[in-house]
Structure 1
């Protein structure tokens, strides 16, 4: 096995391939069909989310990108099925850190996660050109190639592993490939605490000509994860 194959194989173990449904995206990002119609949308990083799959079937123009897409769709689907089962076992112990209005119970959550994975895996097979492998903080897209960019469950969640400099470089890159606006959800880390450098980051964006709003959204599963950042380019 070559070094590249070896590291790719190892990386698949590190990837958690779990995604959210199209409906969850609408609530996490307070989206409406009207504001997305006729827009070119990028989901970054998209993971096993079904927003791209269902969105394109609904007549939207959505592209997905993620480091996971360096792997085959079949491998990712199998990894996703394992990850969902592992996550559900963990959920049994950690139920109190979550709000259950949206999913009702663990079985409801499992069904949402399986539905997202199945829609995503099927679409990857049928329309692989929509699923672009990337390694942040750099993206292989042209300046302002997309109108709207959605970024869920990545940036601030892993504040313990991704430092402020990484956040700034990634945000600059997300803004580079976007013409109108970037939305980021949620604004807390894995412990449910507001990202510690958020105010500093908002000031940085404002100084660079962006209009930034912190907005409550009609979605809260992880406790305190109920706001998004809406960044409009100047």
Structure 2
């Protein structure tokens, strides 16, 4: 891919506090409500996603974890709002590199992101115990504390600043706290290209005794971001 082609993709000069909705999570990770009713679930890093808030309202046992949760609530709301606007400007410049079937346009995307932010921070204020601050690759949870762990839009996407060693250490830690299954979405970087070291990561996990597979999902917004990694014990 040429430098000119790469410039059309969304360029982020920071890891932003932004989030997806419950419905997006269900599609990204190929889930349904029945899957989650009896499971203890971890969302990490969760950012400003409303998955935990909505799932908790349905009686599900979900915990969100993110380094951002160390900051005061008002600071998170302000940063989240600023980051949504920052991201929208980038998407508007690179809109041809996105699929516009789930979202109608940039304004619709903005509304979804702000809704997720509002639901997340409101829920965090009411149920702070559901939001645990932590800095990967170290988590403050017991071994196999969760049945299912979900990890979205962090690993692989920021491969330009997070090296392969960090990826392996983080996946190892996520698996340590997971009893059954870890799902990671998507498998591409910010330029929409498959993570360069993914096959090496898969091979390492297989050697350690895990079942590893790439699974196509029904959700695709960022071009080529339509596959998740499913790691089972």
Q: Which residue of 2 aligns with 1:93?
A: 93
Q: Which residue of 1 aligns with 2:187?
A: 187
Q: TM-score, normalised by structure 1?
A: 0.92
Q: Which residue of 1 aligns with 2:204?
A: 204
Q: Which moved more, 1:48-57 or 1:92-101?
A: 92-101
Give per-residue Cα distances to partners, 1:57-114, cap 9 Å, x unaligned: 0111000000100101211011111111122222221101111111011111011101
1:216 aligns with 2:216: yes
Structure 1 residue 15, shift from structure 2 partner = 4.9
The answer to whether the 8 A contact 1:15-1:68 is kept is: no
Q: Which residue of 2 aligns with 1:161?
A: 161
Q: Which residue of 2 aligns with 1:36?
A: 36
Aligned equivalents of 1:14 and 1:89: distance in 2?
Answer: 14
Give per-residue Cα distances to partners, 1:106-131, cap 9 Å, x unaligned: 11101110110000010010001111
Aligned equivalents of 2:51 and 2:168: distance in 1?
Answer: 26
Question: Secondary structure, in 3 states, of the residue corresponding to 1:122?
Answer: helix
1:50 aligns with 2:38: no
CA RMSD of aligned residues (A): 1.1
Give per-residue Cα distances to partners, 1:43-63, cap 9 Å, x unaligned: 000000000000000111000
Structure 1 residue 14, shift from structure 2 partner = 5.2
Count of matched residue pairs: 221
Structure 1 residue 33, shift from structure 2 partner = 1.3
Aligned equivalents of 1:82 and 1:217: distance in 2?
Answer: 30
**Unpaired runs of 5+ in structure 2?**
1-12
Q: Which residue of 2 aligns with 1:109?
A: 109
The answer to whether the 8 A contact 1:157-1:190 is kept is: yes
Q: TM-score, normalised by structure 2?
A: 0.93
Q: Which residue of 2 aligns with 1:18?
A: 18
The answer to whether the 8 A contact 1:187-1:194 is kept is: yes
Aligned equivalents of 2:23 and 2:131: distance in 1?
Answer: 20
Aligned equivalents of 1:14 and 1:200: distance in 2?
Answer: 26
Over 2 Å off, 4+ runs: none
Aligned equivalents of 2:14 and 2:196: distance in 1?
Answer: 25
**Unpaired runs of 5+ in structure 1?**
1-12
